[in-house]
Structure 1
Amino acid sequence: MMRTRPLKVALLGCGVVGSEVARIMTTHAADLAARIGAPVELAGVAVRRPDKVREGIDPALVTTDATALVKRGDIDVVVEVIGGIEPARTLITTAFAHGASVVSANKALIAQDGAALHAAADEHGRDLYYEAAVAGAIPLIRPLRESLAGDKVNRVLGIVNGTTNFILDAMDTTGAGYQEALDEATALGYAEADPTADVEGFDAAAKAAILAGIAFHTRVRLDDVHREGMTEVTAADFASARQMGCTIKLLAICERAADGASVTARVHPAMIPLSHPLANVREAYNAVFVESEAAGQLMFYGPGAGGSPTASAVLGDLVAVCRNRLGGATGPGESAYAALPVSPMGEVVTRYHISLDVADKPGVLAQVATVFAEHGVSIDTVRQSGKDGEASLVVVTHRASDAALGGTVEALRKLDTVRGVASIMRVEGE
Structure 2
Amino acid sequence: MADALKIGIAGLGTVGASLVRIIQQRSNALAVACGRAITITAVSARNRNKDRGVDLSGIAWFDDPVDLAENADIDVFIELVGGADGAADQSVRAALARGVHVVTANKALLARHGVEFARLAEEKGLLINYEAAVAGGIPVIKAMRESLTGNNFSRVYGIMNGTCNYILTRMEKEGLSFEDCLKEAQRLGYAEADPTFDIEGNDTAHKLAILTTLAFGSEIAADDIYLEGISNISIEDINAAAELGYRIKLLGVAQRTESGIEQRVHPTMVPLDSVIAQVDGVTNAVALESDILGELLMVGPGAGGNATASAVLGDITDIAKSRPGAQQVPVLGRPAALLEPYRQAKMKSHEGGYFIRLSVVDRAGVFASIATKMAENGISLESIVQRSQHTTADAPVTIVLVTHATMENAVRKAVSAIKHEGYLIGEPQVIRIERPKSA
TM-score of the two chains, using structure 1 as the length reference: 0.94
Look up the equivalent residue of 2:413 and give its one-letter code: G
Which of the residues 285, 298, 301 maps onto 2:299? 301
Q: Mapping of 1:226-265 within 5 angstroms?
A: 226-257=226-257, 259=258, 262-265=260-263
Partner of 1:310: 308
Partner Cα distance (2:59, 2:72) in 1 = 19
In the other structure, the counterpart of 1:267 is 265
Any conservation in 2 of the 1:324–1:331 contact (CA below 8 Å)?
A: no
2:415 counterpart (409, 417, 429): 409
CA contact (8 A) 2:12 2:45 kept: yes
SS at match of 2:51: coil
Deviation (angstroms), 1:280: 0.7
Q: CA deviation at 1:143?
A: 0.6
The residue aligned with 1:65 is 64
2-structure distance, mates of 1:276, 1:60: 49
The one of 363, 378, 381 equivalent to 2:380 is 378
Q: What does residue 77 of structure 1 align with?
A: 76
| Aligned amino acid, residue 72 of structure 1 | N
Taking the aligned partners of 2:178 and 2:423, their CA distance within structure 1 comes to: 29
Shift of 1:201: 0.9
Structure 1 residues 320-329 or 28-37, which shifts more? 320-329
Q: Is 2:319 the counterpart of 1:321?
A: yes
Q: Structure 2: state its 5+ residue gaps.
A: none
Post-superposition Cα deviations, 1:354-381, rounded to whole Å, max 9, x if no partner, equal: 1112233332223222322333333222
Distance 1:147 1:82 in 2: 29
Equivalence for 1:400 = 406
SS at match of 1:224: coil
SS in 1 for 2:286: strand
- 1:424 alignment partner, one of 414, 423, 430: 430
Alignment partners' CA distance in 2, 1:137 and 1:385: 43
How many Å apart are 1:152 and its aligned residue? 1.1
Question: By how many angstroms is 1:110 displaced?
Answer: 0.8
Secondary structure of the 1:421 match is coil
The amino acid across from 2:198 in the alignment is: D
Deviation for aligned residue 1:422 = 3.9
* Count of residues in Structure 1 that have an aligned counterpart in Structure 2: 426
287-296 or 202-211, larger mean C-alpha shift: 287-296
Structure-2 residue corresponding to 1:18: 16
Q: Does 1:44 align with 2:42?
A: yes
Which of 351, 355, 358 matches 1:356?
358
**Cα shift readout 1:49-70 (whole Å, capped 9, x = no counterpart):** 1222332112652211222221
Alpha-carbon distance in 2 for matches of 1:361, 1:196: 39
For 1:211, the equivalent position in structure 2 comes to 211
Where 1:419 maps in the other structure, the secondary structure is coil
In 1, Cα distance between equivalents of 2:325 and 2:404: 55
Structure 1 residue 200, shift from structure 2 partner: 1.1
Distance 2:260 2:153 in 1: 13
Q: Is the 8 A contact 2:229 2:266 kept in 1?
A: yes
The one-letter code matched in structure 1 to 2:405 is R
d(CA) in 2 for partners of 1:237 and 1:131? 34
Q: Distance in 1 between matches of 2:340 and 2:87?
A: 31
Aligned to 1:369: 371
Distance in 1 of aligned mates of 2:242 and 2:249:
13
Q: 2:96, 2:102 within 8 Å by CA — same for their partners in 1?
A: yes
Tell me if structure 2 keeps the 8 A contact 1:127–1:330: yes
Q: Percent identity?
A: 38
Q: Which deviates more, 310-319 or 282-291?
A: 282-291
Identify if the C-alpha distance between structure 1 residues 419 and 73 changes in structure 2 by more than 3 Å, giving closer, same or farther: closer
Secondary structure of the residue that 2:322 maps to in structure 1?
A: helix
- 1:78 Cα deviation after fit: 0.5
Matched letter for residue 151 of structure 1: N
State the distance in 2 between where 1:403 and 1:121 align: 43
SS at match of 2:383: strand
For 1:199, the equivalent position in structure 2 comes to 199
For 1:77, the aligned partner's letter is: V
One-letter amino acid of the counterpart of residue 376, structure 1: G
Kept in 2: contact 1:413–1:420 (CA 8 A): no
Opposite residue 385 of structure 1, the aligned amino acid is: R
Question: How far apart, in 2, do the equivalents of 1:174 and 1:427 lie?
Answer: 23
Measure the CA separation in 1 of the matches of 2:72 and 2:124: 13
In the TM superposition, residue 74 of structure 1 has moved relative to its aligned partner by 4.1
Q: Structure 2 length as normaliser, TM-score? A: 0.92
Q: Which residue in the other structure is 1:223 paired with?
A: 223
Equivalent AA in structure 1 for residue 425 of structure 2 = R
Give secondary structure in 2 for the equivalent of 1:155.
Answer: strand
For 2:279, the aligned partner's letter is: V
> Residues 220 and 403 from structure 1, CA distance in 2 versus in 1: closer, same or farther, beyond 3 angstroms?
farther
